[in-house]
Chains A and B, each alone.
Chain A
Amino acid sequence: MEFKDNIPIYLQIEQYLYRQIALGKLTAGEKIPSVRKLALELTVNVNTVQRALQQMNSQGILYTKRGEGNFVTEDTQLLAETKQSLINNELEQFVQNMERFGIKKVELVSTLENYLKDEGDQHE
């Protein structure tokens, strides 16, 4: 994992973990790696990992069991919402990028449909 140096690292750790959860690499109720293990894996300071985990605890996506560590929430609705908001972020990025290429919002669906159709043809 490479971090951008012009965005607070704790925010990037949060994003990284949110992604792991949305992609199903960390599942509902699963214990996440220890603070030190995450620090080592991401080459960051233990304090920074702790700050990210604290934030995620207060957002409800993680919960702490005393002496056991941090776990992914079992609130499936919250997990679904989290996943949806990550998907929305990706879509927003996509829409913005297409706009830069001069493709208007009304043309987006047909552009995407054409692409998917062409791609499907190539694979046949």
Chain B
Amino acid sequence: MNDLLTVKDVSYKKNQKLVLQNVNLKLNSGKIVALLGENGAGKTTLMRIIAGVAKNYKGEINIEGATKEAERKAKLSFTDGLTGFSDSTKIKEVVKFYATIFEDFDENEFDELRQFMKLDPEMKLSQLSRGMREKLIIALTFSRKADLYLLDEPFGGIDAMARKKIINSIILWKDEKATILISDHFVNEISSLLDEVVIVKDHTVLEHKSADDIRQTHKSIEEYYESFYADEDDE
């Protein structure tokens, strides 16, 4: 199978502080992959580097031959948290902005996703609950036609129903060849969905394994993940 994403010897410092060191990672196309690690382990930073948002890193990122940031950005869709919009912005205005900025943004697809998520285009960002906001972010992210989707903690602080909607949207809208990388610090809620698991700890990628290979050893994904932190609980 062809590599979709290659992260080679990537290191990153922020304010002289080491965030990531010698990260290596390869992802194939067509997979659902969890990026697991504690808060502060560097998951978001790694996603931001892959997405071309965080700059001044050392090492190389390659997405199907694209290494420059602008080229990479065209091949991936990243949840950016809607940080650039004011609270009074309506959903339909956000959509308009996305459609202008991204050539591959499909407004019809967004409309299907929006209806599936039960979001009203007239609503302002300030009116959205945490779960609705996350659903909107996912709908916007999946409305682009990309090879790689990066979802940064889509399940943080949302209720079970919103989570179920988001999980179902992943199953329904994921293109066969597209790969989805989902970061989380808690694996249970998505474990049945996963093809592969990537563990981020100590500023680097420690392990990368197939989910069913882990289960083959009669370990649950959660037990596997927790085993990386077991020694710390003893202290």
A residues engaging B (CB < 8 A)? 3-10, 36, 39-40, 42-48
Residue of B nearest to A10 (CB): B212
**Contact B174–A8 (Cβ < 8 Å):** no
Chain A residues lying within 8 Å of B211, measured Cβ to Cβ, are 9
**Contact A43–B193 (Cβ < 8 Å):** yes
A36 to B115 Cα, complex, angstroms: 19
**Contact B220–A46 (Cβ < 8 Å):** no
**Contact B195–A44 (Cβ < 8 Å):** no
B residues engaging A (CB < 8 A)? 30-32, 167-168, 171-172, 174, 176, 188, 191-195, 211-212, 215-216, 218-223
A6 to B219 Cα, complex, angstroms: 5
Q: In whole Å, how far is A67's beta carbon from the nearest beta carbon of chain B?
A: 16
15 contacts between A and B (CB under 8 A): A5-B192, A6-B223, A7-B215, A8-B212, A9-B192, A36-B171, A39-B171, A40-B172, A43-B167, A43-B171, A43-B192, A44-B192, A45-B171, A47-B30, A48-B195
- The residue in A6, A8, A39, A47 that gathers the most chain B C-beta atoms within 10 A of its C-beta is A6
Q: In whole Å, how far is B196's beta carbon from the nearest beta carbon of chain A?
A: 10
Chain A residues lying within 8 Å of B192, measured Cβ to Cβ, are 3, 5, 9, 42-45
Chain B: interface secondary structure?
Answer: helix
Q: In whole Å, how far is A45's beta carbon from the nearest beta carbon of chain B?
A: 5
Q: In whole Å, how far is B113's beta carbon from the nearest beta carbon of chain A?
A: 15
Residue of A nearest to B164 (CB): A43
Contact of B222 (CB < 8 Å), options: A5, A7, A40, A43: A5
Q: A43-B192, A45-B194, A45-B195 are in contact. Are A6 and B220 (CB under 8 A)?
A: yes
A10 to B188 Cα, complex, angstroms: 17
**Contact A46–B218 (Cβ < 8 Å):** no
Contact of B171 (CB < 8 Å), options: A5, A8, A46: A46
A39 to B171 Cα, complex, angstroms: 7
Chain A residues lying within 8 Å of B30, measured Cβ to Cβ, are 47
**Contact B171–A40 (Cβ < 8 Å):** yes
Q: In whole Å, how far is B170's beta carbon from the nearest beta carbon of chain A?
A: 9
**Contact B215–A6 (Cβ < 8 Å):** yes
Residue of B nearest to A40 (CB): B171
Chain B residues lying within 8 Å of A42, measured Cβ to Cβ, are 192
**Contact A5–B194 (Cβ < 8 Å):** no
Contact of A45 (CB < 8 Å), options: B32, B215, B220: B32
Q: 6 closest Cβ contacts across the A-B interface? A: A5-B220, A8-B212, A6-B220, A8-B215, A39-B171, A6-B218
A53 to B108 Cα, complex, angstroms: 32
Chain A residues lying within 8 Å of B193, measured Cβ to Cβ, are 43-45
Residue of B nearest to A8 (CB): B212
Chain B residues lying within 8 Å of A5, measured Cβ to Cβ, are 188, 191-192, 215, 220-222
Q: A3-B192, A39-B171, A40-B171 are in contact. Are A46 and B215 (CB under 8 A)?
A: no
